[in-house]
Structure 1
Amino acid sequence: MARRRIGQEDLIARPEPRAASSLSEIAALLDWSAIDRHLIDVSAAAKGEPGWPPLALFRSLLLATWHDLSDVRLAEALDDRASFRRFCGFAAHEATPERTAFVRFRRELVRRGLDRVLFEAVTRQLEGKGVTVRAGTIVDATLLPSASIRADADARWAGHRRRKPTHGYKAHVATDEAAGLVRAVEVATANVHDAAELAAVLPDEPGKVYADSAFAGRKAEDLIRARGGIPWTVGTGTWGGAEALARLQAHNAAVRRVRCRIEKVFGTWKRSYGRRRMRWLGLAKAGLQVRLAAMAYNLRRTLTLLRPAA
């Protein structure tokens, strides 16, 4: 397939703006050639036009996630901002992708199921940095409203005891207890129970598994033990009077002190990465959006963990 050639200028000798330095540090975290091997056959070209390098488009989607940019705003920023060009590999004088190139690229990622492949490839490399200490695992799920109630046929309704019902999807996530990196993520419709995807996200030898009361049933706890873990879930009731109740409350407080760390992941996704609401329609595209957010979060988090303490 015909593909455009882009060449990054030699910018090493030039002073880099402080705002752009973190992008350069993130770029140095990964062996991008290994990521590119998963994208080698992907073409996002319009008919009769050479295709943009898929690795540059993938990096562009990460930028869009970090900065909560629509396709139009991403195309404008990539054309205008030197740090964005540098991160994606475009020289100052070169043309950059138009909005529709990102649409076609996402469609190819979804069609080939590459969002899962890319997440696993990025996660493996980041785990190789030695920042993950496998002392325990936190599991939880969060609701993500769909882009449209009327047009999104895949989305489903889910009720909540204290909030309005949500029409959309649910991200099921497992994170490392100490480092807080997302180790696994699955996306289902909003009406799926929090523990339904536990088998898909729970790693082998997870250590203590911290979770809320939705994971306290026998089925979930048996699965945790079968994987070599120890269920450490919030309890909802006990028999035995005041003494037993005090023990339960102390146990729940200890679980919540650790379990709450996963809320930082969800908060970053929704507050900073625009995942308060899905941008695109359909379950498959919801999976791509969430895994992009997970990769973006893990890259930023790893950079923070590797930086020396001030």
Structure 2
Amino acid sequence: MAERQIGQLSFTDGLVNEAARANAPLQRMAELVDWPAVEALLGGLRSGSMGAPGYPSLALFKALLLQQWYGLSDPGLEEALLDRLSFRRFLGLSLSEPVPDHSTLWRFREQLAKSGLAERAFDLITAQIEKSGFVLKRGTLIDASLVRSAVNPPEPPDGPVPPDADGRPASKLVKSPHDPDATWTRKENKYFFGYKMHVGMDQDSRIIRRLDFTPASVNDTVVADALICGDEAIVYADKAYDSHARRARLKEMGIRDGIMRRNGRWHRLGTWAVRRNAVLRHRRAPVEPLFALIKRVYGFARARYRGLLRNATAFQLAAAAINLQRWARMAPQTT
């Protein structure tokens, strides 16, 4: 598909840009990020020879970031792009150019999900932030949080269903026909149906350096090693991540072990281990506000879509938006 050319400003655009008040956060992000590198990564998404010229991938990707920052639906984003000069300026659209409609935005997000480029874009942006020196790498906080499915939990089918090895009742084994990727898990003696988001966050900058999104039944420790960056001084985590293999791996990598200890099957923790856990609990606590931010501000109190792939893409976009916003707000200005 041919790609339309955007950003050819008219005399009127120049007058309006001079008179209008700039959106400082968006302007700062436009200056900080190496957008041509992001454009090169995403360029193939709009390739093809049939149909009307499509919008540049970079403009659509920026639109999805705006959607994350301002909590907009696809139709709401379309309306905001029509109405807000700062949004047009961020995308590179002139006043005379049409904006992408909500169906175009949806299709582009679907392309991101199927191609896996949302995660690669997150990695690229995070690498730029790290290269700037904003990430100090003194420690990584790893943790996970549950996300309810967009659909209601399924009811057990007709007829008996045997419990699983853990003794879970039949209804907890059933998958939803409306969201077959969502699964059950148990936390604090309560059953939960949905997904789980996993992060590895830098201790000082609060930048998300690693992430994953899985069905709720995936144990925290399964993806833990992928959340360790390898260049941090110490890794902080709660008891769910404690294992002899992980301690040995951290030692081999030259990374200090900040994982809380849990009681063994045959022995209780000693006084020193209990005190150590209390200290580490305080050190790893800053990761909790991140999950509160993702859920309350970025709309992940409940999964946005049906299916693992779509929700994972939304999570990757949200994480990229959070990192960019924090970088733009906290990074020192250069003169």
TM-score w.r.t. length of structure 1 = 0.90
Point out where structure 2 has 5 or more consecutive residues left out of the alignment.
153-175
The corresponding residue for 1:122 is 125
TM-score w.r.t. length of structure 2 = 0.84
Give the length in aligned residue pairs: 303
CA contact (8 A) 2:2 2:49 kept: no
The corresponding residue for 1:29 is 32
User: 1:156, 1:222 → 2: CA distance?
Assistant: 31
Change over 3 Å in CA distance of 1:263–1:77 after alignment to 2: same
Q: Which amino acid aligns with 2:19?
A: R
Q: Pick from 167, 187, 190: which aligns with 1:160?
A: 187
The corresponding residue for 1:234 is 260
Does residue 255 (structure 1) correspond to residue 285 (structure 2)? The answer is: no
Does residue 210 (structure 1) correspond to residue 236 (structure 2)? The answer is: yes
CA contact (8 A) 2:180 2:307 kept: yes
Q: Which amino acid aligns with 2:321?
A: A
**Deviation by residue 1:111-169 (Cα, 9 ceiling, x = unmatched):** 2110121011101111122111111111111111222244111111122106x533221
Paired residues for 1:1-310 under 5 Å? 1-7=1-7, 9-10=13-14, 13-17=18-22, 20-43=23-46, 48-149=51-152, 150=176, 151-161=178-188, 164-237=190-263, 244-245=270-271, 247-307=272-332
Q: Which amino acid aligns with 2:256?
A: I
SS in 1 for 2:32: coil
SS in 2 for 1:101: helix
User: 1:191, 1:106 → 2: CA distance?
Assistant: 26
Change over 3 Å in CA distance of 1:80–1:165 after alignment to 2: farther
User: 2:288, 2:20 → 1: CA distance?
Assistant: 37
Change over 3 Å in CA distance of 1:170–1:44 after alignment to 2: farther
Question: Whose radius of gyration is greater, 1 or 2?
Answer: 2
SS in 2 for 1:175: strand
User: 2:211, 2:204 → 1: CA distance?
Assistant: 18
Point out where structure 1 has 5 or more consecutive residues left out of the alignment.
none
**Deviation by residue 1:40-90 (Cα, 9 ceiling, x = unmatched):** 111299973221111111001111111221111111111111111111111
**Deviation by residue 1:158-193 (Cα, 9 ceiling, x = unmatched):** 22106x533221111111111111111111111111
User: 1:70, 1:111 → 2: CA distance?
Assistant: 21
SS in 1 for 2:198: strand
Q: Which amino acid aligns with 1:258?
A: R
SS in 1 for 2:199: strand
Which segment drifts farther, 164-173 or 179-188?
Answer: 164-173
- CA drift of 1:232 comes to 1.0
User: 2:133, 2:45 → 1: CA distance?
Assistant: 31
Over 3 Å off, 4+ runs = 8-15, 44-47, 236-242
- CA drift of 1:277 comes to 1.4
- CA drift of 1:307 comes to 4.4
The corresponding residue for 2:162 is none
Change over 3 Å in CA distance of 1:241–1:286 after alignment to 2: closer
CA contact (8 A) 1:135 1:206 kept: yes
